[in-house]
């Protein structure tokens, strides 16, 4: 689209972190005077990166937001009454209330993007992100303009996909409620033939995910005797976790398990496995602060 080339990622399943970059050719008109963009260009590359994953938690329902707005208005009216302040004669409280309800339901999209500090295209392409190349530009002015507008579109698409996943989750959950097909941790412990029954996903699991990972998934996968058995069962784990928003965490557990199966005394693999399970459990239980802290611990191992 418009000459923008996607170098990495899947447009139909955005990961929430994006990097866009351009190659900047020398501009003869600016050679002597310089520009405000000079410090942003690294070895002929101008890059912008944004991480929107922490901006996609489930938002409160409109009913909850309206209730909060009503509480604020009621508090204000009670305070004015206690202070003996009369409302202006032309002020319609109910009309104001309705207007605030409308405003509160409008979605504001932040743009937390920053200039990337990359000196080689290879370093950009090695990042875990959706990566876009917007082309070559003579000078940085127009390139910077294009780069700063792209995160708006990207984040809107990412949020729309998250919303669709949420609707799919709700529809799936309703179907499971009607069919009575939900399973909890204890149900799964009784099934020893396969890691998960066919068709079971995170959306239809009702129980303690942390307990499931630590007492069912990890011991089961570590105990498998052959690589063929492991590859077959880990596919079921990926299928079960397909509704989980950060697939890199699932991949981390897979890699740590493979390392542990090969080297049982690998303390690093064991620690990464522990942290990966903790992060998944934190995100599943909607604790972004804990997930962020665990993510920082995981990142230390990559340094």
DSSP 96: H
DSSP 42: B
Tokens of 219: 């011991």
Q: What is the DSSP track for 72-92?
A: HHHHHHHHHHHTTPPPPTT--
CB 1 within 8 A of CB 121: no
CB 2 within 8 A of CB 114: no
pLDDT value for 267: 86
Rounded distance, CA 212 to CA 257, Å?
16
Rounded distance, CA 173 to CA 72, Å?
34
Q: Which residue has the tokens 């530009």?
A: 137
At residue 266's C-alpha, the angle toward residues 265 and 271, to 5°, is 120
Which positions of the chain have pLDDT values less than 70?
A: 1-2, 28-38, 54-70, 72-73, 76-77, 79-80, 83, 85-93, 95-112, 166, 169-195, 197-199, 204, 206, 302-303
Tokens of 291: 């997930």
The ranges assigned to domains in the chain are 5-52+112-174, 62-104, 182-302
pLDDT value for 148: 83
Q: What is the pLDDT of residues 221-262, one digit of tens each?
A: 888 888 998 998 899 899 888 888 889 999 999 999 999 888
Q: What is the DSSP track for 200-263?
A: --GGGB-S-HHHHIIIIIHHHHHH--SHHHHHHHHHHHHHHTTT-S-HHHHHHHHHHHHHHHH-
Q: Is 68 helix (H, G, I), strand (E, B) or coil?
A: helix
CA distances from residue 175 to 170, 172, 180 in whole angstroms, order as listed: 9, 5, 8
Mean pLDDT, the chain, rounded, equals 77
State the burial class of residue 82 (Cβ atoms within 10 Å of its Cβ: 0-12, 13-18, 19+). exposed
Beta bridge partners of residue 115, listed in sequence order = 48
E-assigned strand segments in the chain: 5-8, 17-25, 45-51, 113-115, 130-138
CB 280 within 8 A of CB 256: no
Q: Taking the mean position of all CA atoms in its chain, how far away is CA 106?
A: 21
* Neighbouring C-beta atoms of residue 279, cutoff 10 Å: 24
pLDDT value for 284: 87
Rounded distance, CA 4 to CA 22, Å?
10
Q: Taking the mean position of all CA atoms in its chain, how far away is CA 62?
A: 22
Rounded distance, CA 169 to CA 201, Å?
10
Q: What is the pLDDT of residues 158-196, one digit of tens each?
A: 888 887 876 776 566 555 544 444 444 454 445 555 667
pLDDT value for 170: 58
């Amino acid at each position: 689209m418009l000459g923008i080339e996607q170098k990495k990622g899947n447009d139909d399943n955005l990961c929430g972190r994006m990097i866009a970059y351009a190659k900047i050719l020398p501009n003869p008109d600016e050679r002597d005077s310089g520009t405000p963009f000079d410090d942003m260009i690294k070895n002929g590359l101008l890059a912008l990166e944004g991480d929107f994953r922490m901006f996609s938690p489930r938002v409160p329902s409109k009913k909850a937001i309206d209730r909060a707005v009503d509480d604020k208005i009621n508090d204000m009216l009670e305070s004015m009454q206690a202070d003996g302040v009369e409302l202006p004669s032309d002020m319609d409280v109910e009309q104001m209330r309705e207007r605030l309800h409308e405003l509160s339901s409008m979605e504001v999209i932040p743009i937390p993007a920053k200039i990337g500090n990359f000196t080689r295209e290879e370093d950009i392409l090695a990042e875990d992100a959706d990566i876009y190349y917007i082309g070559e530009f003579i000078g940085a002015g127009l390139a910077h303009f294009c780069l700063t507008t792209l995160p708006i579109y990207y984040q809107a698409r990412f949020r729309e996909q998250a919303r669709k996943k949420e609707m799919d989750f709700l529809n799936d959950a309703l179907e499971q409620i009607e069919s009575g097909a939900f399973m909890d941790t204890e149900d799964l412990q009784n099934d020893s033939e396969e890691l998960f029954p066919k068709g079971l996903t995170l959306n239809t699991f009702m129980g303690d995910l942390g307990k499931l990972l630590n007492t069912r998934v990890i011991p089961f996968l570590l105990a498998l005797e052959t690589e063929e058995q492991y590859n077959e069962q880990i596919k079921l784990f990926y299928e079960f976790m397909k509704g989980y928003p950060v697939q890199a965490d699932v991949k981390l557990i897979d890699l740590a398990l493979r390392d542990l199966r090969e080297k049982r005394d690998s303390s690093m693999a064991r620690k990464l496995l522990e942290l990966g399970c903790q992060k998944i459990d934190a995100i599943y239980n909607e604790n972004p602060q804990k997930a962020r802290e665990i993510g920082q611990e995981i990142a230390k191992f990559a340094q």
